[in-house]
A = this chain, B = another copy of it.
Amino acid sequence: MNIAIIGLGLIGGSLALDLRANGLAHHLIGVDAHPEHGEIALAEGLVDEVASLEEACTIADLVILAVPVNAILKLFPQVLDYLGPDAVAVDMGSTKAHIAEAIAAHPRRKQAVIAHPMAGTEFSGPKAAVNNLFQGKVAIICDQAHSSPHAIRRVERLFKSLFMRLIYMDAEAHDLHAAYVSHVSHITSFVLALTVLEKEKSEANIFNLASGGFASTVRLAKSSPQMWREVYEQNDQNLVDVLDSYLEKMQAFRDHIARGEFDQTHQLMEAANAIGRILEGGQIRAPR
């Protein structure tokens, strides 16, 4: 397949590495608004050529949009305008409802698939690309009935070639669940980093005292502000709901400590421990 990847960052670059390695891509075309990303992607052998959006979409069998979610809103309709009659386009955005709206009325809507591979790291840009980023992770395909069976099959083939597990839900449900389980954990990391940076004036103290626990909790605070501001913008209502719940629980936890109610903190922590049992419920295996 000729595969065009729009956006040669962490996700686009990592896709390029895997799709070349697993043979799904016979020819990889990169598109990026930043010329230096295109140069790095060529130099590192991520893609075979760098082209304009129109050129790439015209010759590709599969176009993958791997840009921040506001850029997807703008580019997805253009990609569909340029797409050949048998070609398929799919986006990799972390939010789905606004993206679904942006292409809802497009005459080629059936050639489009809306999806979210739940994979990433705290790094960004083409140099952050790594092999096997997607292996064993979940890919969500949204609003399946709005795409043609041909388009869904091609995107399923894409994700299965990456050893991802497929699940299906509608775009609104996706955004709600993603707020709970993915988006809010980035915000708690950013806020923890801000708190420690303000309170600890000494960089040496942060560096010396940060145990492994702190480093893993705050890891996501290194994430791209540009990517995440757009996620907040597109998922604002769900996020405000979850953050209100989080704030209420944090206030209660703080108040228990302030009042010396340590039995209550114990009970809350025992309830929280359940998350371990759920997360360890089983490793997701690569499909056969």
Q: Chain A interface (Cβ within 8 Å of chain B)?
A: 118-122, 137-138, 140, 165, 167, 177-178, 180-182, 184-200, 203, 205-223, 225-226, 228-230, 232-233, 236, 239-240, 242-247, 249-251, 253-254, 257-258, 260, 262-263, 265-266, 268-276, 278-279, 281-282
Q: With A120-B211, A207-B278, A217-B185 given, is the CB distance from A245 to B199 under 8 Å?
A: yes
Q: With A185-B213, A222-B275, A258-B236 given, is the CB distance from A180 to B199 under 8 Å?
A: yes
B217 lies within 8 A of A219 (CB): yes
A218 lies within 8 A of B185 (CB): yes
B214 lies within 8 A of A216 (CB): no
A214 contacts across to B, CB distance below 8 A: 181-182, 185
A177 lies within 8 A of B205 (CB): yes
Q: With A181-B210, A208-B138 given, is the CB distance from A194 to B271 under 8 Å?
A: yes
Chain A to chain B: the 8 pairs with minimum beta-carbon distance, closest first: A222-B276, A225-B269, A193-B275, A193-B272, A185-B217, A243-B254, A118-B211, A181-B209
Q: How far is the CA of A276 from the CA of B220 in the complex (A)?
A: 9
Q: Which has the most chain B C-beta neighbours within 10 Å: A137, A140, A222?
A: A222
Q: Which has the most chain B C-beta neighbours within 10 Å: A181, A188, A220, A273?
A: A181
* Contact sample, A vs B, 15 pairs, CB 8 Å cutoff: A118-B209, A121-B212, A178-B209, A180-B209, A181-B196, A181-B200, A190-B272, A193-B273, A199-B242, A199-B245, A216-B219, A221-B275, A225-B269, A229-B262, A236-B258
